[in-house]
Amino acid sequence: MSIRIGQSYVGEGHPVFFVAEIGINHNGDIAIAKKLIDVAAESGCNAVKFQKRTIPVVYTQEELTRPREVPFDVIDSAIKRKVLSTESIKRLTDSNYKKTTNGDLKWALEFTADEYKEIDMYCKQKGIMWFASPWDEASVDFLDKFDQPCYKIASPSLTDKGLLKHIKSKGKPIILSTGMSTMEQIEKAVEILGEKNLIILHCVSTYPAEHEEINLNAIYTLKKRFSNSVIGYSGHERGLQISFAAGAIGALLIERHITLDRTMWGSDQAASIEPKGLETLIRDIRAFERARGDGIKKVIGKETPIIAKLRRKQDF
């Protein structure tokens, strides 16, 4: 079972497919996004991933107006990028940029159509695929204009029947994260999406996830239950060991958030991998793939002279 994403294949017999989740770690700054794309491309990732939302659809007005502390540089950048409303700018100006809301942050973290065009061109220059997880139907249609190689369904969206059907209608490979979901909910989502052309990721939606919470054996459970789909892993833990272990026990796609620096401001930074860590993880997974072999126990050619040198007797 294998699935084609762009010019790459995901599945048994193919190298682990690496997705570098940029998500919102760019903090609304296209320059940071480009640096993260550079990191992913130079480390050997297959793709980078963003998140796309239609803010008034995804969040309630109550949630958008909730007070939330937002750094000045993020707000200042949002004003310069013209992604905040006139009313928001007046409120922020009158309060000396102190009365920030959750809505200010959500708008600040959304790239515009022109910025996504810039991302699209930059990824093509760097020779790396990009796609995004749309959180609503309008975002699906927006991303469709960029001829996405696949669609990613984020864990919070797994139970959104209308969104799942709309993504399915695009006829592209689908990656489904399963954090915060029961097996029954996953089964219902897969019933809508179909097992064909589907990659299901084991995931735990805590940021960062503690080792005791991760339950890697669920990868085996998903493989057994959804034998016609490809199974992978989306990790939010600190460090590299768990993601390496996921690849070693059979995850065929691995997704990790990446960051330039885990101490940067942002809710996902602490659960992300820095550039050196990403390079190390991919290097070690590739080494494991070379060492895994075919499982047939045999004498290899380079052992023959060692036999002659070290074996005192060979009675059988």
Read off the pLDDT of residues 208-231 as tens digits, 9 standing for 90 and up.
999 999 999 999 999 999 999 999
Same domain as 149, residue 64: no
Same domain as 87, residue 31: no
Same domain as 78, residue 131: no
φ/ψ of 99, rounded to 5, equals -90, 65
Residue range(s) defining the domain that contains residue 219: 2-53+119-310
Read off the pLDDT of residues 300-309 as tens digits, 9 standing for 90 and up.
999 999 998 9
> Does the residue 114 lie in any domain?
no
The whole-chain average pLDDT of the chain stands at 96
The pLDDT score that the predictor gives to residue 267 is: 87
> Does the residue 316 lie in any domain?
no
The contacts of residue 34 (CB under 8 Å, 6+ apart) are 119, 122
Give, in order, the Cα–Cα distances in Å from 216 to each of 21, 57, 198, 245. Answer: 20, 34, 20, 8
Read off the pLDDT of residues 96-124 as tens digits, 9 standing for 90 and up.
889 999 999 999 999 999 999 999 999 99
Q: Is residue 1's pLDDT more than 90?
A: no
Helix spans in the chain (H)? 30-43, 55-58, 61-64, 72-81, 86-94, 102-108, 113-126, 137-144, 161-168, 183-193, 211-214, 218-225, 241-248, 275-292, 304-310
Same domain as 242, residue 97: no
> Does the residue 123 lie in any domain?
yes
> Does the residue 83 lie in any domain?
yes
Same domain as 174, residue 40: yes
Q: Using alpha carbons, select from 140, 115, 169, 158 the residue that is nearest to residue 52.
A: 140
d(CA 191, CA 128): 31
Over residues 127-136, mean pLDDT: 98
d(CA 72, CA 78): 10
CATH code assigned at 254: 3.20.20.70
Q: Is residue 165's pLDDT more than 90?
A: yes
Count structural domains, the chain: 2
Per the rule left: phi > 0, alpha: psi between -120 and 50, beta: everything else, 97 is left
Same domain as 207, residue 150: yes
Same domain as 184, residue 143: yes
> Does the residue 200 lie in any domain?
yes
Q: What DSSP state is assigned to residue 231? A: E
The pLDDT score that the predictor gives to residue 193 is: 98
Same domain as 270, residue 186: yes
Over residues 186-192, mean pLDDT: 98
The contacts of residue 31 (CB under 8 Å, 6+ apart) are none
DSSP β-bridge partners for residue 256: 20, 235
The pLDDT score that the predictor gives to residue 9 is: 97
> Does the residue 315 lie in any domain?
no
> Does the residue 133 lie in any domain?
yes
> Does the residue 39 lie in any domain?
yes
Same domain as 267, residue 141: yes
Over residues 136-163, mean pLDDT: 98
Domain boundary among 77, 109, 141: 109
Read off the pLDDT of residues 49-68 as tens digits, 9 standing for 90 and up.
999 999 999 999 999 999 99
The pLDDT score that the predictor gives to residue 181 is: 98
Domain boundary among 109, 128, 152: 109
Same domain as 282, residue 187: yes
Same domain as 187, residue 65: no
Q: Given CA atoms 44, 131, 226, 254 in this order, what sign does their dihedral have?
A: positive
Same domain as 293, residue 172: yes
Q: Is residue 14's pLDDT more than 90?
A: yes
Read off the pLDDT of residues 168-180 as tens digits, 9 standing for 90 and up.
999 999 999 999 9
d(CA 35, CA 43): 12
